[in-house]
Amino acid sequence: MEQIIKEIEQLREALRYHSRLYYENDAPEISDYEYDRMFYRLVELEKQYPQYASDTSPTVRVGGAALDKFEKVTHPVKMGSLQDVFSYEELSDFIAKIDENDEYSVEYKIDGLSVGLTYEKGKLVLGATRGDGITGENVTENIRTIRSIPLEIPYKEHLIVRGEVYMPRAAFEKLNLQREAEGEVLFANPRNAAAGSLRQLDSKITAKRNLDIFIFNVQESAIEFENHDQSLEFLATQGFKTVYGHKTVKGIEKIIETVKEYGNSRDSLPFDIDGAVIKMNNLARRIETGENTSTPKWAVAYKFPPEQKETKLLDIQINVGRTGVLTPLAILEPVFIAGSRVSKATLHNLDFIRERDIHIGDYVTVQKAGDIIPEIVSVNEKKREEVKEFNFPDTCPSCGEKIYREEGEAAYRCTNLACPAQALRNIEHFASRDAMNIDGMGPAIVEVLYNEGLIRDVADLYYLDQKDIENLERMGEKSAQNLIAAIEESKKRGLDSLLYALGIRQIGKKAAQSIAKKFNDIDQYYTLTAEDFCKVEDIGEISAANTVNYFSHEKTKEIIQRLKNAGVVTVYESAENQSSKFEGMTFVLTGTLPTMTRNEASDIITANGGKVSGSVSKKTTYLLCGEEAGSKLTKAQSLGVKIINEEEFLEMVK
């Protein structure tokens, strides 16, 4: 047993050593194969001798048992955000207002997810997301899977540090290739992928995502540091991977020079940045300078303009959307922008193409709007040689029916309700979480069912046979049973959910609920006029006309009848025990909520007698605020509107 214990300890020490070389110094001494061989030998020994297991062993990196939900955590030290500036003039003004003679730390602004790590007696005991800065989520099990985070440190006093979890570009590309091969929805960018990976209830999934972290701040410690540089040096001695590329400089010119240097290095970095952070180096001077309501006065974030690249426009294809709109799609020579490979960009409509004088074969400048959606911003006419003008076809590329452009509209449309392209997307929308909420009926399953000829419209979902589903690839008896049960359960959603699920143009969830309350039986809709629908709150002339048009088609009548025959509820039944807790209250929602979508929160509000508004005003009762809140939060603070988080909101509902 002494030999076993010795081998376990030697393996742990060796794995920690080689992890530090790989993740912190980028200087591995052994191959991945050798590392893995040692790792799985340790796994085998700990499984065989569980009495010698340790919560700081490198083996905890593979993840543990899945959780039901994340616990809420109150941060002892507020994890605030920074004021953004978007020009060097704004940056100069900010520095001049404080003191340009001070020393400033300039750091890469890593595009990831902010977390706090707590250590007690040298051991990692808590990892929590930033949340709203005051309350976050306990993601300790997922944090433990990140190999660059030390599970044990030499410093044995209480310590809280703050860092940015991110997904390296190479890991992001690999993850999206896997998801594409498996028919799953791709992540938009590494930041979204990192956030989604860190918030997995199953830490084994997080462990496979190859997340990384930079630690950039000491939040709480018994050590009194004189400046930020000293705190970073201390963090490095504890085995933390500290913020990359940090420089301490003095003077506005030197600060701007460093920010420009960081901006020019974006392409060469193995991770995404969306700006630079500039903060006072002297910690005592930070205290003197003070804080604003929600941001420090001693620090600022310079946000880089969207990254732009030139590439060639190879072709323009037509994409038929769920509502029949034909959208031109630019097919590009692939180019790497803002953390991902871009090969397509929307061209919106023909007017957009003509205004920018875009031709097939042009060299175009591409950027990502909000660092997410690729778009063409300009054409390099000097490089124009053999090009071809684009024109819309006369017929729909999906079904061959004639297309139309309504007067006053930019969009061309296919109005054929049996159009295959529309049918597929209509079914996906119909089954989605905010519509009929058929659990397990994601885009990949819908596509398989459609391609196998098992469904052609939304009504077909309710006539599926379990045996047909069992025979599909990657399905089985249990999966088929679950899917049939979910379809059966969706029949009870009610008229308001059904109306929204049908995908009528410009009829959103709120409008569908208003219509259902006013006209509570779907059979009425075949005879109602646009004037009738205009009497409904939240319904305008265009929405009313679209609704009348939708219910005038014979195909609609056929689908509705088949839904009724299958037992789908087509009447509106208001709950007898509906609460009036929020009567007279108006809520505005902003940011990403931890456990629910905004639509789900809106449903709870309206079910309890409250109203949901899209903008903040003096009449707003509460701002329900999630992570990464925008301008609504600022406005609510200026108007003195009460701001609540999801936890407080759910307490109000009880």
- Residues marked as catalytic: 109
Residue 547: closest CA among 565, 523, 530, 564: 530
- CB neighbours of 400 closer than 8 A, spacing ≥ 6? none
Burial class for 74, CB neighbours closer than 10 Å (0-12, 13-18, 19+): exposed
AA letter at 7: E
Between the two ends of the chain, the Cα-to-Cα distance in Å is 55
Q: Which parts of 541-580 are beta strand (E)? A: none
Residue 205: closest CA among 39, 44, 66: 66
Residue 612: closest CA among 628, 627, 624, 595: 624
Strand partners, 590: 625
- CB neighbours of 313 closer than 8 A, spacing ≥ 6? 330, 331, 332, 358, 359, 360, 361, 362, 363, 364, 376
The stretches of 238-331 forming alpha helices (DSSP H) are 252-264, 283-289
CA 110 to CA 163: how far, in whole Å?
10
Residue 73: closest CA among 165, 137, 5: 137
CA 527 to CA 283: how far, in whole Å?
72
Is the sign of the CA dihedral 183, 185, 186, 191 positive or negative? negative
Helix 2-23 and helix 32-48, axial crossing angle in degrees, nearest 10? 140
DSSP letter string over 510-534? HHHHHHHHHS-BGGGGGT--HHHHH
Burial class for 556, CB neighbours closer than 10 Å (0-12, 13-18, 19+): middle
- Encode 590-612: b = buried (16+ Cβ within 10 Å), e = exposed: bbebbeeebbebbbbbbbbebbb
CA 536 to CA 177: how far, in whole Å?
47
AA letter at 283: L
Residue 578: closest CA among 551, 604, 555: 604
- CB neighbours of 289 closer than 8 A, spacing ≥ 6? 98, 280, 296, 297, 298
Residue 168: closest CA among 339, 371, 303: 339
Element (H, E) at 356: none
Is the sign of the CA dihedral 460, 466, 471, 472 positive or negative? positive
Starting at the earlier edge strand, list the strands of the sheet with 123-129. 123-129, 113-120, 159-166, 212-221
Cα–Cα distances in Å, from 228 out to 96, 144, 572? 20, 26, 61
